[in-house]
Amino acid sequence: MSHSHKLVIKRSSMSRPPPPPPPTTNKDQQHQNPSFQEINIKLIQSGEKERLKELLRERLLECGWIDEMKALCRAFTRKKGRNNVTVDDLVHVISPKGRASVPNSVKAELLQRIRAFLASTAD
């Protein structure tokens, strides 16, 4: 969901898979790193990803981030009119602000949890 600076949206053909786009999560991660995918799989299969998502939801609720996003959506919807707004519109509208306004403490906490999880499940 992150913004790309490319102005041209490439159309992928069905025969040849295009190169994977930049990852949508941590910008610092190298997407070619196969362990990123492995980590993700590990998180999903163990159920940790779901737990992390719940934790994230709770933190974002506590700090008012969710309310802020709701307010942005409402404002946008009011401007454009109820019947002229799609989910994609809203996602597009709030994504930049949303990403930017996640508190550092929340990021740090989740990062810590992921590290701890990986350490505990290291082979």
Partner 1 sequence: MSSKINGHVSPQPCPHLLVFRSRNGPKPFRALQDCIRVKPPGGRAAIRREPTEVPRCGTCEESSRSRLYACVACAAVFCHAPLLHSHASDHSLSIPGHEIAVDVDRAELFCCACGDQVYDRDFDAAVVLAQTVNATATTSTSGSTAMQCSVAGSQPENLRKRRRVDYRPWEPDSGEHISRGNQSIPLLDAANASLVSSTQQPWGLRGLNNLGNTCFMNSILQALLHTPPLRNYFLGDRHNRYYCQQKNGAINGTKNSRLCLACDMDALFSAVFSGDRTPYSPAKFLYSWWQHAANLASYEQQDAHEFFISMLEGIHEKVEKDKRKFQSPAGSGDCCIAHRVFSGILRSDVMCMVCGFTSTTYDPCVDISLDLEPNQGGSGKSSSAKSLNSFNVEADCMRPNQNCGISTLKGCLERFTRAEKLGSDQKLFCQKCQVRQESLKQMSIRKLPLVSCFHVKRFEHSSIRKMSRKVDRYLQFPFSLDMAPYLSSSILRSRFGNRIFPFDGDEQDASNDLSTEFELFAVVTHSGRLDAGHYVTYLRLSNQWYKCDDAWITQVNESIVRAAQGYMMFYVQKVLYYKESENQGTS
Exactly one of 8, 14, 100, 119 binds partner 1 (CB under 8 A); which one? 14
Question: Tokens in use for 55?
Answer: 């934790």
Nearest to 65 by CA among 26, 104, 92, 27: 104
Question: Tokens in use for 92?
Answer: 């597009």
| Contact status: 86 vs partner 1 (CB under 8 A) | yes
| Contact status: 98 vs partner 1 (CB under 8 A) | no
How many residues bind partner 1, per CB under 8 A? 37
| Contact status: 115 vs partner 1 (CB under 8 A) | no
- Pick out residues in 50-69 that bind partner 1 (CB under 8 A): 50-51, 53-54, 57-58
| Contact status: 78 vs partner 1 (CB under 8 A) | no
Asked if 72 and 94 count as a contact pair (C-beta separation under 8 A), the reply is yes
| Contact status: 83 vs partner 1 (CB under 8 A) | yes
Integer angstrom CA distances of residue 68 from 61, 78, 82: 10, 15, 19
Q: What's the gap between Cα 32 and its chain centre?
A: 18
Asked if 2 and 22 count as a contact pair (C-beta separation under 8 A), the reply is yes
Binding positions for partner 1, rule: CB under 8 A? 1-4, 9-12, 14, 17-18, 20-21, 23-25, 36-37, 40-41, 44-45, 47, 50-51, 53-54, 57-58, 82-83, 86-89, 91-92
